[in-house]
Amino acid sequence: MKEAADQNVPPVLLMLFNRADTTRKVFETVRAARPSKLFIAANGPRPNMASDIDKCRAVREIFSGIDWECDVHTNFREKNIGMQPHWRLALDWFFEGADAGIILEDDCVPHPSFFGYCGELLKRYKDEPRIMHINGSNFQFGIPRGDASYYFSRYPHVWGWATWKRAWQGYDDSLSTFPRFEKDDDIGEMVSDRRQRDYWMKFFRGLRDGRYDTCDAKWIYSIWANDGLCITPNTNLIENIGYGAQATHTFHKDRILGQSARDIRPISHPAPVYTADRAADDRTFEVYFKKNLLQKALYKIRQHLS
């Protein structure tokens, strides 16, 4: 008899490609959590890359190990559609079958407490439209923000996260609202100084004009265009293992990539005052985004070219 699912764990989306070694480690954490719904979106082999056929097959075979009661949905592509379309379309597909859930990629290993944390907060804030994203990552490196288990931020991170269908419906892939955002100088409400404003407006213009394409930056824009907020844990809950065997293309294994994941339990909640912690966001900009968001996007792209 299969083990029962944990009904407190939200639906989980796994976004995968051709790395069985890292996928297996992520799957083991999901297997231990036993969600009742699991969505598996796997990109297909690249043309003229014969080795991808076996690699993609090996990734998909991992899920023969689902040994708990689980409603499994698969979206296994026969051909490769590129990293950015795969990311966006996988989320569109996920929210056709779920109202809220957890999103994990094949190199982001969550702490076991991550699943309960997401489940509790997805329920707590499901009817708060300004709360659009729940982070698993923390880049404060030991500096606590407030006296609760988490704080509010302007910055979403996508190394293990959760959101709602109602929030994802605000995703603006073409930055169609950017003319209004630029004209009204809405960026001034999001970040605290001119240097950061210039950085983000330059990046958003590049996205709008098609000079580069990265879905997580478009998600940042979409949250900001809707005056949205994110939840960030005071404890880092995600270990990124993407620098392993294919590390020749990583920007470097620094303290960002090398962070370990720790237990967040028991969860305590802040007062319901929905204001971003500017000091925390300034630090996140300095230690994470200032190192160049495009460089991090290229790192992910290169992983999919290896």
Tens of pLDDT along 86-104? 999 999 999 999 999 999 9
Q: Which residues partner with 101 through β-bridges?
A: 163
Q: What mean pLDDT is predicted for residues 203-209?
A: 94
Q: Which long-range contacts (CB under 8 A, 24 or more apart) does 89-96 make?
A: 89/41, 90/13, 90/15, 90/41, 91/13, 91/168, 91/171, 92/168, 93/39, 93/41, 94/11, 94/13, 94/39, 94/41, 95/165, 95/168, 95/169
Q: Is the pLDDT of residue 42 over 50?
A: yes
Q: What is the pLDDT of residues 127-186, one digit of tens each?
A: 999 999 999 999 999 999 999 999 999 999 999 999 999 999 999 999 999 999 999 999
How do beta strands 229-233 and 131-135 pair? parallel
Better-predicted residue by pLDDT, 196 or 244 = 196
pLDDT digit string, tens, across residues 243-252: 654 433 344 4
Give the list of residues 6+ apart from residue 95 with CB closer than 8 angstroms, or none.
165, 168, 169
pLDDT (0 to 100) of residue 133: 98
Give the mean pLDDT of 31-48: 97
Q: What percent of the chain has pLDDT over 90?
A: 83
12-305: in CATH 3.90.550.10: yes
Residue 209 vs residue 305, higher pLDDT: 209
Position 181: which residue type?
F
Average pLDDT of span 2-16: 95
Of the listed ranges 32-46, 216-230, 250-264, the one predicted with least confidence = 250-264
Please check the confidence at residue 82 and state whether its pLDDT lies above 50. yes
pLDDT category of residue 2 using cuts at 50, 70 and 90: confident
129 class by beta-carbon count within 10 Å (0-12 exposed, 13-18 middle, 19+ buried): middle
- 256 versus 218: the higher-pLDDT residue is 218
Average pLDDT, the chain: 91
CA distances from residue 81 to 43, 86, 218, 294 in whole angstroms, order as listed: 7, 6, 19, 21
pLDDT at 305 exceeding the cut of 60: no
pTM of the entire structure?
0.93
State the pLDDT at residue 258: 73
> Which sequence spans correspond to the domains of the chain?
12-305
Q: Tokens for 69?
A: 């009661």
Per-residue pLDDT for 30 more than 80? yes
Give mean pLDDT, residues 35-50: 96
What pLDDT is recorded for position 47?
94
3-state helix/strand/coil string of the chain: CCECCCCCCCCEEEEECCCHHHHHHHHHHHHHHCCCEEEEEECCCCCCCCHHHHHHHHHHHHHHHCCECCEEEEEECCCCCCHHHHHHHHHHHHHHHCCEEEEEECCEEECCHHHHHHHHHHHHCCCCCCEEEEECCCCCCCCCCCCCCEEEECCCCCCCEEEEHHHHCCCCCCCCCHHHHHHCCCHHHHCCCHHHHHHHHHHHHHHHCCCCCCHHHHHHHHHHHCCCEEEEECCCCEEECCCCCCHHHCCCCCCCCCCCCCCCCCCCCCCCCCCCCHHHHHHHHHHCHHHCHHHHHHHHHHHHHC
Query: What are residue 227's DSSP bridge partners?
Result: none
